[in-house]
Amino acid sequence: MSASGTAAAGQVEHMLRQVTPGRYDAYEDLLHALEESRIWMLLWHGQAGSPDAQYGNMEVEGLGYAPCVTSAQELSASGWNRAYEVVEGRDIARALYPDRWGIWLNPHAPGGGVGIPWTDLRRIATGLDRMPAGPLRISEPALDIPQFYALLAQNAHRTPAVRALRRAWVQPAIGAAYLAIGLDLYDTSQQSVDTVRAMMQQSVAAVPDGLPVSTVALSDEYDPVGMWLRANSRPFYDREAHAAPAVVPGYGYPPVRGQ
């Protein structure tokens, strides 16, 4: 291994030793170290690069993980006697998160190592600073800001790309809490995205000073905030419900027997 590779592995292992329950800052440092490091993925079947290569797997609290080690020294210490594949942290993150698999670092180590769930592999793959640090506490907003919601709904009604809007209050493990607006769009073409961005810019004027607001695309099946919104919230603006005609009694229904 090159000197830089050895240094990266050493950084990951140093950060691993700092991670303890509740130390979210240390865990974030570990994720940053993993971005640029190489890890040894343990192959349960096949050889590195072969079509039939298959990573090992383990399940912890209902989530799937592929076991790996952080250096050649840890590989030796693990006693693994099958094949392995050396990959960069960002590359394995991109490969595994779409199938909702995480990685488990050094499961042979005292204490059992550290698991990185697929949601955090997604953050590594797409940019750690672009997404909030988990675990996230998500709930219905308790904010009394009717002017903002009214203006946003009004502007959404004038933006044909918007089907519906939802909302959530998000508290990241690290950083300030914020209001998330879930965007349910008819299509995600660049033109539609541009009109929705303009809609949000026009609406945030009604947001109280100091209140962070972010958006999430409800079409993103991997975003944890979007997942929560789809499962737990109702739209505060719904174009189709707003436009639904009144039901005429009897119209479209079979006649009642006896009439």
Q: How far apart are CA 144 and CA 80, in angstroms?
A: 57
| Segment 219-243 mean pLDDT | 93
Instruction: Kindly report whether the peptide bond that precedes residue 135 is cis, defined as omega within 30 degrees of 0.
Output: yes
Q: Which fold has domain 3-130?
A: Trna Endonuclease; Chain: A, domain 1 (3.40.1350)
In percent, the amount of the chain with pLDDT more than 70 equals 90
Q: What is the pLDDT of residues 121-147, one digit of tens each?
A: 999 999 998 899 989 999 999 999 999
Q: Which fold has domain 137-243?
A: Alpha-Beta Plaits (3.30.70)
H runs (alpha helix) in 97-186: 118-126, 146-157
Start-end ranges of CATH 3.30.70.1350 in the chain? 137-243
198: confidence class by pLDDT, cuts 50, 70, 90: very high
11: confidence class by pLDDT, cuts 50, 70, 90: confident
Q: At residue 173, does pLDDT exceed 70? A: yes
In percent, the amount of the chain with pLDDT more than 90 equals 80
H runs (alpha helix) in 53-145: 72-78, 89-96, 118-126
Start-end ranges of CATH 3.40.1350.90 in the chain? 3-130
Task: Assess contact for 167 and 138: CB atoms under 8 A.
Answer: no
252: confidence class by pLDDT, cuts 50, 70, 90: very low
| Segment 17-23 mean pLDDT | 91
